Structure 1
Amino acid sequence: MVKLHLKNCITNREPFDFEAVIITSKKKEIWIRSIGTGEFVDGVCKRVYGSFQDISSLKETENRLLSLAENLPGIVFQYVINIDGTDSVRYLSGSVSQIWGFAVSDIEDNLKIVWDRVNAAGDFEEVQASIMKAVQTKSNWRSRFKYVLPSGELRTHLGNGTPVFLADGTIVFNSIILDITQEVKNEVLLKQASTMARIGSWEMDLINQDKDDMYWSPVIKEIFEVDQSYKPKLRRSLKFYIGDSKDRKQQALGLLIKEGVEFDDEYQLLTDKGKERWIRCIGKSEMANNIRTKIFGSFQDISDQKLAEERIRKALEEKNRILESIGDAFFAIDNDGIVTYWNKQAELILGKKKEELLGKPLWDVYDYLTDTDFFSQFLHIRKTRQTTNFEAYLPRLNIWLEISGYPSEEGISVYLKDITLRKEAVIQLQQANERFEKVTEATNDAIWDWDIINQTNYRSKAIERFFGKSALTLRSSNELWKDSFHPEDLPKIKDSIYEAIANPSCTRWELEYRIYNEKGKTLYIVDRGIIIRNNEGTAIRMVGAMTDITEQKELQIQEEKLMEDIVQRNKNLEQFSYIISHNLRSPVANILGLISLLQEENIPAETLDYINNSINLSANKLDEMIKDLNDILQVKNNVTEIKELVSFKNLASDIYVSIETLIKKENAIITWNFSEAQEMMTIKSYLHSIFYNLVSNSLKYRQRHVPLLIEITSQLINNKIVLLFKDNGLGIDLEKQNNMVFGLYKRFHANYAEGKGVGLFMVKTQVETIGGSISIISEVNKGTVFRIEFPV
């Protein structure tokens, strides 16, 4: 820099004036100001001369001032009002960009950008008016106004300035702008908090007044329910206080004024509108040169708090009254085991007076309990912080107690009930039950005792024979129906027993139903009970016995089934007899008629041949019928054939192989899917015959012009194996044929294919013989579906 200034001076005749740092011979830095110019002769610089000035102190002062200006929390500047009415700013420093949102150079070039932000906040006219007022009164300028930053954020600024009036008419304000946004927010929050908390301030100047004028904030005037224009005075304000509050307040104010004794007390007053209120009043004072100059303080409306305290006090009194009057013993201990409450019943049961326990550790007084379950349970409550109910025996007092411990933040609340009599009764009952159990072990019946009032149900150990070893002998009424009752019978059981209980005139109940034992077997039960009622007829207890009648029931079912089978066989026999008599009559009649012709004389040879041929034809037809009837009788009589596990897939494959030539000849497609049910235990020859007859039927009664499709599938539905045989053959007119589809010698397409009308009759007979049922869905020229169902 120095070389450049010297070069320009010598070459371009430019004088110089600059500031720089130099290092002295003693290695010390100092600031200097150098001023110089050149001396030229005939255009040539002959010498350079000038001066050096040590400006270190001036520079240090300048740097300090600059640092101070840059670190001010606001903006320092001069606001200039020119004689032509225009305005501008100069010497801007401080947090300019943070507070106004613009660079210093932009503002110095165009102050309007700042005024536009003030105008956007709505305070432009107010700020201008405050400046004009300061000019007119030649007083300091002070204004609080809103400012919108370029980002849109709304801020609050505080401006202060001192005007200087120059000789040429220019007015200069030495000014500072502070961002007081947070302070304003705090003021609003404080005002809101004071309003919400109903806190107001008061003060009284003891020096600069002759009278007893006071200052009350707006909140205090609201508390006293006076108008905001009300002028409070010290003596006059005492009229609002009632009861002893007036004297106490007067005394407290006197001591505060005379001796500076501060106070913080609660007073009761009557507002200007006649409402009673409680207030908290704080009084303090200020001293100057040993003279008390001012008293001040605050009022707070604590009416709601006092009402709450009164409610709490009454609630505590009510609680104590209840705790002292209840039949249960009650005491409370804190987290250190110190007794904090001990009611009268606790005194009676535990044998210690309240005075002996309050404020003392419980386990010091009852130290002999620290090795018992009683003490362990309390440690458990304190550790888990969970409500606990338990029973304990106190040997020294020879009593049984039912104890409930309720943990809280403060400690444990304990309820005690003397259950000695009940416990002794339970022991006696247990002994009686033991005797009762011995008796019930001698019977297969399960004895039960239902306490309807206490909702418990006791059952003898024999219940395990019914529901299994997991069955509880004692359970609540809500758990009663969780045992393995048959789902179809459970609603009936509930309805029946509750209906009996609800009927005041009913004293006995009996019902037969089913249950499942632990192996899943269905048991048949007959349950009988006697209902015990109180004087009002309300059922309070029910005792009874469950008897296993499975063996008798199964015999009964077998008998009923056998009877149904006999009845059905008789019906079938009647039908069979009718069929025999009807179908055999025709060929027999033909034979008899022809034989009668043979008895005539002189029969021509030609006629004789005809008669012989007709007799042979009728005899063969009769023989075929007898064979068919014999096959049917064989089906009905061979039920004793051994059953075996038959695979549907293997059976279908065997049949396919046996008639494969015919299948290919008819261009038929047969598919099967037995994924849902793959096999069953049955008579294999019967099932083979059923499959064979149904497949043969589909091949026989196909549609000539349509490729034959046969589908065989299995399903497992509601514990039943379902076999479906579906084809797209000729179909059957079920409306026309009605119930004759499975009849003997019933043919539906006699002109279409050969047949005797025995196949479907045999299928139905075999299906029913092995315990199944068969049905049909069919539509002419669309196909047929045979549905066969077998129980699993």
Structure 2
Amino acid sequence: FPPFPDAKVKLPDIYREVFETQQSKSFEYYSPVIGSWFDMSVYPSGNEISVYFKNIDERKYTQEKILQKTRQLDTIARFNSLLIKEDDWLQALDQSLELFGEVADADRVYFFEHSVLEATGQNVISMKVEWVSEGTIREIDNPNHQNHSFDDIGSFINRVIEEGGFNGIISEIEEKGLAEFVSGQQIKSILALPVFTGKEFRGFIGFDDCTTERIWTEEEITFLKTIAINLGSAIENEDAEEALQKAFEEKNAILDSIGDGFFAVDKDFTITYWNRQAEIMSHTRRDDIIGKNLWTVFPEGKDISSYELYHKAIEKQEKQHCEDFFAPLDKWFEISAYPSESGLSVFFKDVTERNKARREIQVSNERFIKVSDASKDAIWDFDVQNENLFWGKGFNSLFGYDLDKTKPTLGFLISRIHPGDRERVAQNIENYMSDASKTDWFEEYKFQRENGSYAYVMDRAVFIRNKNKEVTRVVGAMTDLTRQKEFEESLKQLNIELEQRAKQLATSNAELEQFAFVASHDLQEPLRMITGFLAQLEKKYDHLLDDKGKKYIHFATDGARRMRQIILDLLEYSRVGRIDSERERVDLNALVEDTLSLNRKLISERNAKIQVQEMPVIKASKGPMRQLFQNLVNNALKYHKKGSAPVVDISWSEDDDFWHFEVRDNGIGINAQYSQKIFNIFQRLHGKEDYSGSGMGLAICKKIVEEHGGSIGVKSEDGKGSTFYFSIEKNQREIANVE
């Protein structure tokens, strides 16, 4: 048996039997090694036998597909029957899980229900029912599967809800929360399908394969989604009182009391029930129709859409809804069909007047909306079928056309579009005409006035289609944008001029800064010479000078010293933003500590108390930041109340874009009228006899802060201390050092 090495077990016996009995035999044989099915026939012929065989894989595959589809449909029918039979949908689901698992070839089937914890408002899921195959561990008693928070498996739940399900192999899952959620459960593959009532997520049905890594096929998913949809419908029916109308019950007293027409048929469409309201709406007595075929009594019904709807409901075992027009009665009906194992239950109501009123309102609203939207513009209305174009008065008031003389057509309208825009607009109109999904049209182009000039227009239109999606009418309105476009052009020109002036101003500022830097640097040399000669004069001629001469020398020396300090401060002011502008990570805790160390002697002498909040690490220029805090802390210590120890508090906060800092003291304070003036260069509020300084410190602080994209200010009153506050932008741009 070379072709069938695995056939030695079965085929020899069959061949021997045919040879001995001299009777032919036909049978189907599957070869595991080859992996194929064969149809085999063995015929005796004296001392020999003849064997005929052919491959029947395709036939077997088709048979299996039909069998699988039959099992699926039977499963849906049995599940729907249980949903109708049982008062509790959860009980019906519990009884059906094993059937789902067998058909889906799953090892574990379960349902997680979504709920919201009343105490915390937290979204959670809990396993309510479960079935497992032999040898598979049950998980329903796992406490981790009760009130499990969405926060832990949010990405998994989002995929189930937003993508209509989750179909994956556990070893390939990257979401940490889901991996932890399913760990230790033997799961190889998982399929989770959402259950909705309306738009509300009620939970999901899960199918686990604990032996094989696989992806469920589209056919399997479609079948299982039908179960999820039917379950959602059952839950929705149980939640709502109206859904408890006992759609699958045929109790005469209840059905006769409802306001809707109702009838029931078996799978052959033989009528088994016809209620009182159905008699009234159809003008057909119950006794004349019970036991007869629906299509025999109403043969016209085969030509309307509800005929297909009823067959679809029975075939797919899904409830169906539609509105249909029945010509013999000249009425519209709203129809709801519910399938069951025995056939079909149908509710219907007369909605003729409602549809007529709805259509009239719809037409009226469309006309009102279109006219209201276009009332101040040039209205146009194109009747596509009759090729008739209407122009409103706006074409006269806006573009100068004499509507008594001009007979517009679509071709004429397109011919008035500027040549540079014409092909684009015409092509767009053609696209909207042919694409049934497009309705709202919008274009901007130049439209020729009667006098030959062009106006910039914004043209809006709505393409109205019939039930066959064919355009029957286009209603639109043109808005004249000429003045707006001219204004936009003037703004563009103004922006160009402003950019040029900004560049000129930047160049001027750079030159002024360079001048200040050079001038302050060069002025120090003569001051050093003056100071040096005054010192020599005092040293050599001290014995010849009287007290008044010595006083004059002191005044001159002190003036030169203060002048040198002013020049140094001016030099420092000009250097801000030019040197050490590289942005880096700056630990303000270490920086403030350095600042306090530099002022340690002054702090000790004045018995000052410095309170510093734990500071952040920011991106800034380190040198300027040190100078900023140095100047503010030095001011707080300098301008203290006499006889009172200084108290300085440094704190901060933040928002999305800025760091915010405050330096608060208990000093002499500042009159509110000087709150802006003190940040100008050379501004002093006190005489040098009372407080030393050049008046440049706060001006330097302001420039440093502004170089870092922030602002600085002060809150203060005379005698009540001051709070200097400033901000530093978080998103610092990189600036190259400039020497």
Per the normalisation by structure 1, the TM-score is 0.31
- Identify the structure with bigger relative contact order (alpha carbons < 8 Å, sequence gap 6+): 2
Select the structure of larger CA radius of gyration: 1
Of Structure 1 and Structure 2, which has the larger fraction of its residues in strand?
Answer: 1
